Each structure stands twice: as C-alpha cells, then as structure tokens.
Amino acid sequence: MNTASTRNKTALVIGGSRGIGAAIALRLARDGANVALTYASAGAKALDVAAAIEAQGVQAMALKADSASAAELQDAVGQAVARFGRIDIVVVNAGVLHIADVAAFSLEQLDRMLDVNVRGVYLAIQAALPHMPAGGRVITIGSNTAVRSGHPGSSVYSMTKGAVAVMVKGLAVDLAPRGITINNIQPGPIETDMTADMIEMVKEWIPLKRVGQPDEVAALAAYLASTESGYMTGASLTIDGGMSL
C-alpha cells in the first residue's frame, strides 16, 4: 500500500491516548503526518504518545478535550488549526463501553454513552469540517456490534455504534460535493484496556480464534486516510476475524 500521500498532512485523532486511537495516531505519524490527539483523562499517556510521534520526525500535540463537551472539542480543533493551519484527516475514535441489562442501565450511563459515542462523534466532525480542504478524510471507529449484537447487556453500545454507521452514510452524501470522504471502521474484539476482562471469553466466538491488535485496525485507518481510498465513502468496514459472519 502506498501511504506516501499522507506525508505532510495534518491529522486530528479524537481519543488518541490509548488503545486503537494511540495506534492510529502512531501509524499516521509513521506515514508522515503531523498529529494532534485528544484525551479525556489519561494526560500522561497522551504525552507519551505525542513523544513517540515526535520521535518519528513529525510534530505532535496532546490536547485535553472531553468528547462530551462541545466547547472542549471546539477548543481542541482551534488549537490544532492554530498550530498546523488546517486538518486533512480526522479520526473520531473516542468511545466508552458500559455493559448492563436493560433493567439495570442507569440514566447517567445511558447519557454518557450517547454523549461520547454518538453526539461527540458528530460534534467533533462538525468542529473540524470548516478547516478541511478538498481531499479531506474523515474516519470514525464504530464496532462490529452494529452488525451482530450477540452479547448480553450490549444493547446501548450496539445502538451507539449503529448510529455512527448510519451517520456516516448521511455525512458521506453531504461531504461529497466538497471532495471529502468519510468511512467507518467496525472492529471486533481488539486487545486494549476496554476489552481486558473479556479477551479470553470472546476468543472462542471468533473464527480466526484470536482477538485483533490495535495495529491491525491502524493499518486499515492508514488506507482510509490515504489518497488510494478516494473512491470509497459512506462505507462501514468490519475487521473482526470473521466474528460477525
């Protein structure tokens, strides 16, 4: 794959301090992009990722911005644009997972999931778009639970990721006249903090008999961020070892 087209681009990774988002931030840096990344609470980890990005010879910024806050998202975008001048690639990765039966799901948890996983995705894209030129790339991180939600207690998480998949279809139509594409990556179980307590159990449900690695998702993001993906928009791409077949 030729990712040379990513060189000298500016990427904003929403939720880039750990897991999949950190792997994507590092991969885009390896492909030559300057990267701004946001985090909610893991400031030290975000600074570590930024240092690892700068070790690749490109520029990095770590910005504190809770995706539940429209003002904080706007501020993060403003800081990235003030330094880099524009945003070519936006990866909206920040997400939270709370598993509970419908009878036990609290209103607070429901609102938090919707705020970060749905409203925050829309607001981050909305904030970045005025600064994106033609050829821009928007990438969201959904989940294979939007395709097959077989795990008890995952109704709200699946609902949020289904919403992202449909949001991406609608935004693809709106952004096409500007020459900006938007696509959604739907991972299955990937080895991160989010899945630490379920890895052993879920392995058995996956035809490839293993969970995925953040770098494998980052490789797909690198393709979507490159010029080579130019004819793809509005797509949801599932990467899950065959789990949702």
Confirm or reject binding of residue 66 to ligand NAP (CB under 6 A).
Answer: yes
The minimum distance between CB 182 and ligand NAP, in angstroms, equals 16
Nearest residue (CB) to ligand NAP, 152 versus 177: 152
Instruction: Name which position in 12, 21, 62, 139 contacts ligand NAP (CB under 6 A).
Output: 21
Site for ligand NAP in 167-196 (CB under 6 A): 187, 189-190, 192-195
CB of 228 to ligand NAP, least distance (A): 23
Alpha-carbon span 236 to 19, nearest angstrom? 20
**Binding range to ligand NAP, per CB under 6 A, among 55-63, 81-89, 95-103, 129-137:** 95-103
| Closer Cβ to ligand NAP, 162 or 189, answer by number | 189
State which of residues 6, 34, 143, 181 lies at the interface with ligand NAP (CB under 6 A): 143
Q: Which of 39, 122, 157, 231 is catalytic?
A: 157
SS (H, E, C) the chain: CCCHHHCCCEEEEECCCCHHHHHHHHHHHHCCCEEEEEECCCHHHHHHHHHHHHCCCCCEEEEECCCCCHHHHHHHHHHHHHHHCCCCEEEECCCCCCCCCCCCCCHHHHHHHHHHHHHHHHHHHHHHHHHCCCCCEEEEECCHHHCCCCCCCCHHHHHHHHHHHHHHHHHHHHHHHHCCEEEEEEECCECCHHHCCCHHHHHCCCCCCCCECHHHHHHHHHHHHCHHHCCCCCCEEEECCCCCC
Q: Which stretch binds ligand NAP (CB under 6 A): 53-61, 91-99, 146-154, 223-231?
A: 91-99
116 near ligand NAP, rule: CB under 6 A:
yes
Among 10, 19, 31, 76, binds ligand NAP (CB under 6 A): 19
The answer to whether 238 contacts ligand NAP (rule: CB under 6 A) is no
122 is catalytic: no
Q: Which of 25, 88, 95, 156 binds ligand NAP (CB under 6 A)?
A: 95
Catalytic residues: 157
Binding site for ligand NAP (CB under 6 A): 15-21, 38-42, 45, 66-68, 93-97, 116, 141, 143, 187, 189-190, 192-195
